[in-house]
Amino acid sequence: MYFLHSLREAYESISTHKAKSLSMGFGVLWAIFMLVLLLATGNGFHNGISQSFAQFGEKTMLIYTTGYAGIDLPTSMVSNLDQRLEGIQQATPILCHNHVVTYKDKKSERYTSIIGLEPGYAVLAHLSIQEGRFFTAHDEAEASDICIIGLKLKEQLFGKEKAIGKYILLGSKGLQVVGVLDQTNDLVLSRNSDLLVTNSFFKKIFPRESRYVWLIRLTLRPTANIELTEAQCRSYFSRHLNFDINDKKSLFICSVARHANEWHNFFKNVATFNWIIGVCFLLTGIVGISNMMLVTIYERIEEIAIRRVLGARTVEIGTMILWEIALVTFIAGIIGFAAGFVLLQLLNNAVVPLIKSYYLSKLTCPSEFIMGGLGFIFLASCLASIVPIIRAVKIKPVQALGGK
In this structure, are residues 322 and 9 in contact, taking their beta carbons and an 8 Å threshold? Answer: no
Cα angle 162, 119, 158; round to 5: 15
Strands 195-198 and 112-117: parallel
Rg (Cα) of the chain, in Å, rounded? 34
**Based on the number of CB atoms within 10 Å of its own CB, is 305 exposed (0-12), middle (13-18) or buried (19 or more)?**
buried
pLDDT in tens, 313-353: 666 676 777 777 777 777 888 888 888 888 988 888 888 87
Q: Higher pLDDT residue, 25 or 204? A: 204
If you average pLDDT over residues 43-52, what whole number do you get? 81
What per-residue string of b and e applies to 345-383 under the rule 16 or more CB within 10 Å gives b? eebbeeebeeeeeebbbbbebeeebbeebbebbeebbee
- One-letter amino acid of 46: H
In this structure, are residues 53 and 256 in contact, taking their beta carbons and an 8 Å threshold? Answer: yes
Residue 404 has pLDDT above 60, yes or no: no
What is the total residue count of the chain? 404
DSSP labels for 140-197?
HHHT-SEEEE-HHHHHHHHTTS--TT-EEEETTEEEEEEEEEPS---SS--SS--EEE
The CA distance from 121 to 137, in Å, is 11
The pTM score is 0.64
Contacts of 355 (CB under 8 A, 6+ apart): none
CA 255 to chain centre: 19
Helices 314-350 and 18-56: crossing angle in degrees, nearest 10, is 40
pLDDT in tens, 86-97: 888 888 889 988
Q: Which of 188, 251, 255, 245 is nearest to 224 (CA)?
A: 255
pLDDT in tens, 17-34: 666 667 777 777 888 888
Residue 258 has pLDDT above 90, yes or no: no
pLDDT in tens, 132-156: 999 999 999 998 999 998 888 888 8
If you average pLDDT over residues 36-57, what whole number do you get? 80
Mean pLDDT for all residues in the chain: 79
- CA neighbours closer than 13 Å in the CB half-sphere of residue 54: 8
DSSP 8-state class, residue 85: S
**Based on the number of CB atoms within 10 Å of its own CB, is 301 exposed (0-12), middle (13-18) or buried (19 or more)?**
middle
